Amino acid sequence: MALGNIFDIAGSGMNAQSLRLNTTASNLANAQAASSSADQVYRNRQPVFAAIQEKAMGGALFGNPGMSDHTAGSGVEVLGIVESDAPLERRYEPSHPMADDEGYVFYPNVNVVEEMTNMISASRSFQMNVEVMNSAKQMVQRVLTLGQ
């Protein structure tokens, strides 16, 4: 049943967007986490989204060969989380306790403006998936009252 499929699809969308919100929160929380060496400093993390492709089911429905199932796919998945290769920020702060021998402190390559944009985009997409799920729920509930 195609309508039951919508719950999985919208759920996968909500899951992916909440993971994106998690990475955004982590990036913003660590935006000022200074470190004394380039390999210890926190790097900006981003999730990688990909569409889940499902095999097209060519099954005939109701014994009618024209009625094959059109399954586009089944939502979105998170392939993993990548760390950004953007250049780190290197500030000259000799009085800082984390400063290295030359007086430099390394700061994470987190762009705060970018992260705020990500946050707004993720929360809006999450909201949209919630609305899709709500109207799918109404459709299914309506079907259950057939013949009453």
Partner 1 sequence: MTISFANALGIHESAMHVRGQRASILADNLANVDTPNYKAKDLDFKQVLSRATGSTKETFAVQVTNDRHLNAQGFDANPDMLYRVPHQPSIDGNTVEDQIEHAEYMKNALQFQASFTFLNSKFKGLTSALRGE
Instruction: Name the site residues for partner 1 (rule: CB under 8 A).
Output: 1-3, 5-6, 9-10, 12-13, 16-17, 20, 49-51, 56, 58, 61, 64, 66-76, 121-122, 125, 128-129, 131-132, 135-136, 138-139, 142-143, 145-147
Q: How far is the CB of 93 from partner 1 (least distance, A)?
A: 36
DSSP string, 71-137: -----EEEEEEEE--SPPEEEE-TTSTT--TTSEEEE----HHHHHHHHHHHHHHHHHHHHHHHHHH
CB of 76 or CB of 105, closer to partner 1: 76
Assigned token pair, 118: 């990500």
Q: Which is nearer to partner 1, 73 or 94 (CB)?
A: 73
Nearer to partner 1, 34 or 140 (CB): 140
Shortest CB 48 distance to partner 1, Å: 8
Nearest distance in Å: CB 2, partner 1: 4
Name the residue nearer to partner 1 (CB basis): 78 or 99.
78
41 close to 23: Cβ distance less than 8 angstroms: no
* Residue recorded with tokens 């309506």: 142
Of 66 and 87, the one with the shorter C-beta distance to partner 1 is: 66
Q: Enter the tokens of residue 103.
A: 């007086």
- Shortest gap between Cβ of 92 and partner 1 (angstroms)? 35
Q: Report d(CA 20, CA 119) in Å as an integer.
A: 8
CB of 10 to partner 1, least distance (A): 6
The number of beta carbons lying within 10 Å of the beta carbon of residue 74 is 14
Q: Tell me the C-alpha distance between 60 and 16, whole Å.
A: 33
